A and B are shown apart, each in its own frame.
Chain A
Amino acid sequence: MRKMWQVTMWAVLASMLNGMPGLADVTAGNTNLQIEGSTTVGPIADEFVEAFKRIHPQVSITVKKTGSGDGAAALIDGRCQIATMSRFMKSEEFQKAVAKGVTPVAHAIAMDGVCVIVHPSNPIKALKIEQVKDLYTGKVTNWKELGGADMPVVVISRDTSSGTYETFSHFVMGKSRMFEKVEYVNSNPQAYSRVTTTPGAVGYVGLGFVDEKVKALEINGVAPNRKTIQSGRYPLSRPLFLFTNGYPELGSMVHAFCTFYLSEKGQEIVEAKGFVPVTNY
């Protein structure tokens, strides 16, 4: 009796290890889709997956959100088929990829604006890009100097590995570095809540995080909204990407996923998630 029980246990364990999906992966090819990368693009991917599941119930898709850089690394290592990135791939990453026989191909699936936000009690409404830079380099430390209230500036930035940081520092900081008093936070929600609770704070988040509790500043006279971001008139506009290894094989699940944003439903999802669709659907 005891022996039989043992045998059953081993059989169960063995079947779990080498179970059907394990084998099915190999035989059915592309039914297993792994997506990895940006925390900004991740939510879009989540909703795409949910909609996708209804159309192709046989596909199993996993989404991981750790950062744009991790997405690029995973794509280069072959740990994922699709990397979500909120910035374009850097040339070093391209070189590494090519050295490993991976050709990254970008699919821009949505647009986003990096909005500079302040507490709604702050009388400042608009800033020039150089003035934002002055705030982050520590040249301006009191709002008074920009014509605002007499209040020290609390500067909030995203952590340096995020794609949002890369975008911001590319457009605003240029070659100069942020000064040592800048407070780094790990995510968009953190930056948002830090600004909502601190009257003197300035931070930057994606368009989806702007609501009535924070004030998005006009940059160079342009307010961030759908129109200005889509046309690129808002200076801190950026596309969001999916990266694949080569252009995905036509008819494959990767291809279907990477072109899903072109469908009306895909565009609607992008918009419902607080981003700007690439086309006027």
Chain B
Amino acid sequence: MRIGPRLWLDRLFTALSLMAVLMIVVALIAILLPMLWRGSSAVVFRGTVEFRRMQLEQHGRGDSDDVRAEVEQAARIRQGAYDLLEQFAIVVDPSGMEKRARQIHREFGKQLEHRGVPEDQAAELQSLSKRLRGELLAAFEATEGPEALTHVQTVLAHAGDMRLAGTVAAQYFELAGRYKNALANVDLGRRAEYGVLFRQVQEALRDLLGPPPGSPLPAIIKDQYGATRWDQATRHMERLLWVEKWLPSRPGELLQKVRVPMEQEFRGTVLTKLFPYVREHVGDMLQPRWTCYWQFFFDDSMSSHYFGGVGPEILGTVLVTALAIAFALPVGVATAAYLVECAGDTRPTRVLRTCVNTLAGVPSIVFGLFGLAFFVIYLLPKLGLREGSSILAGASTLALLVLPVIIRASEEAIRTVPRAYKEAALALGASRFRCFVTVTLPAAMPGILTGLILSMSRAAGETAPILCTAAVAMGPVPTSLMQPTRTLSYSSYDMAVGDKMAMLAPHNQFGMVMTLVAIVLLLNIVAIVIRGRISRKLRGQ
């Protein structure tokens, strides 16, 4: 071949290799960076006053006086919004007032009895009370504004009645007054129409600011706080300020999405004031501040990963992985040593080698099912240990999974140690065992470590083998190796399929995945540094 085309081919090859490397780098950046970036939002974000309140109440973190003061300050500004909401709620949903009116009538009857009012007078007052109550209920039920107003005015006409002054019945007039004020601002005819949208407003405001003051404490922790993060708050604001409607364009065609400001839907009512108020004051209501939630890596999760961190998951992952490696590494290296040093190249060893290679290709779920059948159901109970999934069973299964990789890598590493090393050691009178331990093994260490890195990363990320043997979605922090544990890989899966949590708290899902990637990365870096040191030492530098 002439020199010209050869040079040209050489350059082409170099360019292609460079491109391949570049593509790998780009792919790494395109996959890893967004994941790490979005995951970091679980740790560093703009936390609101709700977040600080949660930290104080659930973990006792932060200065309690400071947080209280902040909460109170925010509550004062929020009250403005709640007042507007309340005025509107009276008309749209008067069931609370209905209940109150009935209660007043009952209490009034008791009061009359208690005060010893003469019987005929008491009967007269009671029938008056009943009439007033009836009028009020009719006003609440009315669907026309003027009709409701006449009922309210009939009640208010009795306001001057001295016999009722100072009794419970006087509260009728207060109710009537409140309802009258509210009526001035709302069109009763659209009550049903308002109902659905108003519920959306109420819900969005609840999600934004937490349960309104005076309401009972919600049953699950997730609902006890408003938006703890500013990015969450902006999502809730969107739901509060805008309503998505799907309107028909032409018959037989798809509906078109229209975004209408919520304010427009409540035109002419007192509620229109709510939206500009919230928009203007949302910063003061929530007081966002940049927060570094480093406890994410240590905290237990709350409300199925809606709040809290991934502490138990990290512990579980590290425990299971470390234990699996501790089981697999000695066995793997010993097997490799046997295969290279003692077994020779006979038919049985070739079959054995093929078996190891095949084992490396077996799908991980098969290992999982084997682990379930062998370790969980058969071996561990037989040894007198607790039945059921446990860290020990999971680690043993993972050890089997990574064993072939370790064997293969170690075998190659041991094989490539120069014969001269061994011959020198043997010539000096070392036994074969001593020669292997002091000369061959240290020289093969970098290659063995490479196998270790690969298998460690694989063990940390595998889900299927621990699904049936070690992992649970929810459970206490393990205190012994015989207990099951949560792990990062399984919990990521659980978060994605089980609940709505991945939708409601995507930052926590990303945070969990980021942690898993970071752990694998960290393990790799440590192993690579150690490998580098050993190889330098081997080269005598």
Q: Please report A residues at the B interface, Cβ cutoff 8 Å.
A: 16-22, 25, 34, 39, 42-43, 45-47, 49-51, 60-66, 77-80, 120-123, 144, 148-151, 186-190, 192, 199, 208-209, 212, 265, 268-269, 272-274
Contact = CB atoms under 8 A, between A and B. Distances in A.
Interface of B: 200, 218-223, 244, 246, 248, 252-257, 302-304, 376-377, 385-389, 392, 467, 471-476, 479-484, 494, 496-500, 502-503
Given A50-B302, A65-B498, A199-B254, A212 B483 contact: no
A185 to B, nearest CB: 10
A42 B248 CA distance: 39
Contact of B385 (A22, A144, A189): A22
Nearest to A151: B254
Given A19-B481, A190-B497, 11 more contacts: A17-B481, A22-B482, A39-B497, A39-B498, A42-B499, A46-B473, A50-B221, A63-B472, A77-B377, A265-B219, A268-B218
Given A46-B473, A149-B252, A189-B497, A22 B386 contact: yes
B305 to A, nearest CB: 9
A186 B497 contact: yes
Query: Which of B244, B254, B377 has the most chain A CB atoms inside 10 A of its CB?
Result: B254
Nearest to A63: B474
B484 A62 contact: yes
Contacts of A47: 219-220, 303-304
A186 B498 CA distance: 10
Given A66-B467, A272-B219, A273-B220, A60 B496 contact: no
B244 A61 contact: no
A68 to B, nearest CB: 13
A43 B246 CA distance: 32
Nearest to A22: B482
B24 to A, nearest CB: 30
B59 to A, nearest CB: 15
A189 B388 CA distance: 29
Given A62-B474, A189-B496, A272 B218 contact: yes
A25 B386 contact: yes
B263 to A, nearest CB: 18
A23 to B, nearest CB: 9
A50 B255 CA distance: 43
Contacts of A189: 496-497, 499-500, 502-503
23 contacts: A17-B482, A19-B481, A21-B479, A39-B498, A42-B498, A42-B499, A43-B304, A46-B473, A49-B474, A50-B303, A61-B476, A62-B475, A64-B471, A65-B473, A79-B389, A80-B388, A120-B246, A144-B252, A189-B499, A192-B503, A268-B218, A268-B220, A274-B500
A47 B484 CA distance: 19
Given A19-B481, A62-B472, A51 B244 contact: no
A20 B481 CA distance: 11
Contacts of A60: 475-476, 483
A269 B539 CA distance: 65
Query: Which of A66, A144, A151, A186 has the most chain B CB atoms inside 10 A of its CB?
Result: A66
A194 to B, nearest CB: 13
Contact of A42 (B220, B473, B476, B503): B473
B252 A150 contact: yes
Query: Which of B257, B474, B500, B503 has the most chain A CB atoms inside 10 A of its CB?
Result: B474
B487 to A, nearest CB: 12
A18 B390 CA distance: 12
A22 B390 CA distance: 11
Contacts of A17: 385, 392, 480-482
Contacts of B480: 16-22
B472 A120 contact: no
A67 to B, nearest CB: 10
B482 A19 contact: yes
Contacts, number: 136
Nearest to B499: A43
A77 B389 CA distance: 13
B203 to A, nearest CB: 10
B479 A19 contact: yes
Nearest to A187: B497
A269 B220 contact: yes
Contacts of B385: 17-18, 22
B254 A149 contact: yes
A148 B500 CA distance: 30
A21 B482 CA distance: 8
A57 to B, nearest CB: 10
A39 to B, nearest CB: 5
B249 to A, nearest CB: 10
A215 to B, nearest CB: 8
Contacts of B471: 64
B473 A121 contact: no
Contacts of B482: 17-19, 21-22
A123 B475 contact: no
Contacts of A34: 388
A214 B475 CA distance: 33
Nearest to B503: A189
Contacts of B499: 42-43, 46, 189
Nearest to B218: A272
A124 to B, nearest CB: 10
Contacts of A149: 252-254
Contact of A46 (B254, B304, B476, B481): B304
A77 B373 CA distance: 11
Contacts of A150: 252
B254 A78 contact: no
Contacts of B302: 50
Contacts of B494: 65
B298 to A, nearest CB: 18
Given A43-B304, A46-B474, A209-B500, A122 B254 contact: yes
Contacts of B476: 60-62
B269 to A, nearest CB: 22
A272 B223 contact: yes
Nearest to A193: B503
Contacts of A123: 248, 252-255
A20 B497 contact: no
Contacts of B254: 121-123, 149, 151, 199
A51 B219 contact: yes
A210 B386 CA distance: 42
A80 B255 CA distance: 49
A229 B449 CA distance: 59
Contacts of B248: 123
B329 to A, nearest CB: 16
Contacts of B473: 42, 46, 63-65
Nearest to B246: A120
Contact of B500 (A78, A120, A208): A208
A208 B304 CA distance: 15
Contacts of B474: 45-46, 49, 61-63
Nearest to A79: B388
A149 B221 CA distance: 44
Contact of A78 (B220, B387, B498, B503): B387
